[in-house]
Amino acid sequence: MDNAAIVTTDRLGRDQIARRRTFAIVSHPDAGKTTLTEKFLLYGGALQLAGSVTARKNLRATTSDWMELEKQRGISISSTVLQFDYRGYRINLLDTPGHKDFSEDTYRVLTAVDAAVMVIDAGKGIESQTRKLFEVCRRRGVPIFTFMNKLDRPTLDPLTLLDELESVLGIAAYPMNWPLGTGFGFKGVWDRRTRMAHLYERTERGAYRAPVLTTGLSDPVVRDRLNDDDVYRTTCEEIEMLEGAGAAFDPAAVLAGRTTPVYFGSAINNFGVQLLLDGFLEHSAAPGPRMTQTGLIAPTHRPFSAFVFKIQANMDPRHRDRIAFVRVVSGKFERDMTVTHVRTGKAVRLSNAAKLFGREREIIEEAWPGDVVGIVGNAHFAIGDTLTEDPAIVYDEIPRFAPECFAYLENPVASDFKRFAKGLAQLLQEGVIQSFELAEAGRRAPLLGAVGPLQFEIVKYRLESEYGVASEVRGAPWTVTRWLDPAASRENLLVPTGACLASDAQGNPVLLCVDDWQLRYFQDRNHHVQVSDQPFTP
Ligand code: G4P
């Protein structure tokens, strides 16, 4: 396939690609992801008043019974895709559920983005989920922009926060701006690029763009606002040191995921949010090429191609159906177009394609690389599938994530077994959870693996509400999963007591351990077997 030969030559296509940015905001729960999303939407004019995302959250909870679980637990489970325009850019913001339990859904959304904004609560520094999400982004080489949030409250020292990025996450940190004051005395930021102080005024919960005064650091108004000569002096010294310390900003290192640009601010007060958004748009890249089994496909490749990264059934009882979320990689999507569903080789007409803003749906007429389209109602699509006008394109599989918790799912009412099996098969196809089979026979209840225990509850809840069958979740002890090289001999393996061998749904051999100690024991005694936290590709 000569990919280079078939490029979109029309200007329109190239302009559409160049103006797109597709990213996710990642954070530990409560760091301020929802608040920052609201403010971004405010700049995009997609919301009149910031705060409406939260309002939508509440509205959703009352209009949807599938969201009952969200309501009961006070959490957000389903990811949404938000699209808005700002300064000529078309922005696709993929929301990742932020709960203390991870789900694979969150991870998979990150396979469909070109960049991530990582929100850190500056009072707490890097938290456990920040680390996990960061690791997923890093593995994919996704550029990461950092927003140090809640500067209006007591925070860790800014230099300590930067050090932590380097020492804990192992990424070079480049401060793009610097806080002017902290806690209640936080008045704004010093923008290093323009060498200007941005002094903000508070509005009620930052509902509007904060009025901002931009001026030089030596302007007496800066000292006045900081209202403390010591703070002013220290800030000036810090800035001087920063400028003197000297490494120049390297945009290429950002795009390569080696450096994270760091912005300080307060999402709730709308301080520093526009600088973050503008900086992000300037330094992030338009949709890039994606790997197929035969090489890279550029977004300018003329035939349409896309991959399914998320499937969600029964999102809303008003539309009891199944939506496959598809990320466009190349070419132009047009409503009613016919494409090949590569896994089955079948031609499918994409007639029912929707854009989703939160829970609202709008029919999509066209979409370009970087956009996400929700295809409604096709029962055959599965995670990782390729849809394309050029059947030679087959996108690489979406990585699976090593489960960190396991449970048996029992069906307590034998007469419901058929429905139970059908429902579970559907949820497995959606990728809600992974299934495993123990090597030793005898156990009949399916063994399920998840990256967070919340996934079990979702399975149980959905089996009941969508398939009308009860189920019982019985915990299993394993917390560490490693795939074994299928080529290695499994004769005479020394498996520590408590650990066990199993296979995943594709029949790949897997080792399940209760803890890391068991894994080390296994590795020490079975040197000939390579292990991985991902299935080995054939
Ligand atoms: P999440 O999506 O990452 O879980 O966080 P979310 O935006 O919901 O924010 C978590 C809490 O932190 C919220 O308070 C929010 O108002 C607060 N917050 C966000 N940004 C800032 C900030 O810049 N400064 C301060 N001081 N607080 C911030 P809450 O009490 O849980 O909710 P609410 O009653 O304020 O809405």
Give the ipTM of the model, two decimals please.
Answer: 0.98
Token pair 């090429």 in the structure block, residue: 289
pLDDT confidence tier of residue 538, bands split at 50, 70 and 90: low
Interatomic CA distance for residues 39 and 225, integer angstroms = 24
CA of 93 to the centre of ligand 1 (A): 19
pLDDT confidence tier of residue 112, bands split at 50, 70 and 90: very high
- For strand 259-264 and strand 172-175, is the pairing parallel, antiparallel, or unpaired? parallel
Whole-prediction pTM value? 0.86
- Find the range with the poorest average confidence among 286-290, 416-420, 428-432: 428-432
User: What is the average pLDDT score of the chain?
Assistant: 85
pLDDT confidence tier of residue 73, bands split at 50, 70 and 90: very low
Q: Which atom of ligand 1 is nearest to the CA of 37?
A: 7
Looking at residue 9, what is its pLDDT? Answer: 55
Ligand 1, atom 30, residue with closest C-alpha:
30
pLDDT confidence tier of residue 67, bands split at 50, 70 and 90: very low
Average pLDDT over residues 229-235: 88
Interatomic CA distance for residues 312 and 320, integer angstroms = 11
Binding-site sequence positions? 27-34, 95-99, 149-152
CA of 73 to the centre of ligand 1 (A): 18
Residue type, 236: C
Q: Which atom of ligand 1 is nearest to the CA of 265?
A: 23
Q: Which atom of ligand 1 is nearest to the CA of 31?
A: 3
Q: Which of 268, 271, 273 to mutate to test the pocket of ligand 1 (most atoms within 8 A of CB)?
A: 268
When comparing pLDDT for 326 and 377, which is higher?
326
Looking at residue 95, what is its pLDDT? Answer: 75
CA of 268 to the centre of ligand 1 (A): 7
Looking at residue 58, what is its pLDDT? Answer: 42
Nearest to 509 by CA among 488, 526, 524, 494: 488
Ligand 1, atom 10, residue with closest C-alpha:
30
Q: Which of 25, 27, 33, 35 to mutate to test the pocket of ligand 1 (most atoms within 8 A of CB)?
A: 35
Nearest to 147 by CA among 52, 277, 282, 286: 277
CA of 50 to the centre of ligand 1 (A): 13
Q: Report long-range pairs for 38-41 (Cβ below 8 Å, ≥24 apart).
A: 39/206, 39/267, 39/270, 39/273, 40/84, 40/91, 40/93, 40/273, 40/277, 41/82, 41/84
Residue 63 clears pLDDT 60, i.e. is over it: no
Token pair 């610097």 in the structure block, residue: 178
Nearest to 267 by CA among 355, 349, 150: 150
- Do the Cβ atoms of 527 and 500 come closer than 8 Å? no
Binding-site sequence positions for GTP? 27-34, 95-99, 149-152
Looking at residue 3, what is its pLDDT? Answer: 44
- Find the range with the poorest average confidence among 29-33, 387-391, 497-501: 29-33
Q: Which atom of ligand 1 is nearest to the CA of 266?
A: 23
Q: What is the pLDDT of residues 172-208, one digit of tens each?
A: 999 999 999 988 889 999 999 999 999 988 877 666 6
Burial class (CB in 10 A: 0-12, 13-18, 19+), 349: exposed
Phi, psi torsion values for 521, nearest 5 degrees: -55, -45
Phi, psi torsion values for 255, nearest 5 degrees: -65, -30
Token pair 């601010």 in the structure block, residue: 265
Residues pairing with 531 in the sheet:
484
Ligand 1 proximal residues by C-beta, below 6 Å: 27, 29-35, 98, 149-150, 152-153, 266-269
Interatomic CA distance for residues 107 and 112, integer angstroms = 10
Strand segments (E) across 6-140: 20-27, 81-86, 89-95, 115-121
- Do the Cβ atoms of 422 and 409 come closer than 8 Å? no
Interatomic CA distance for residues 25 and 145, integer angstroms = 9
- Do the Cβ atoms of 12 and 332 come closer than 8 Å? no
Residue 100 clears pLDDT 70, i.e. is over it: no
CA of 33 to the centre of ligand 1 (A): 8
Interatomic CA distance for residues 323 and 78, integer angstroms = 12
Q: Give the H/E segment covering residue 232.
A: helix 229-245
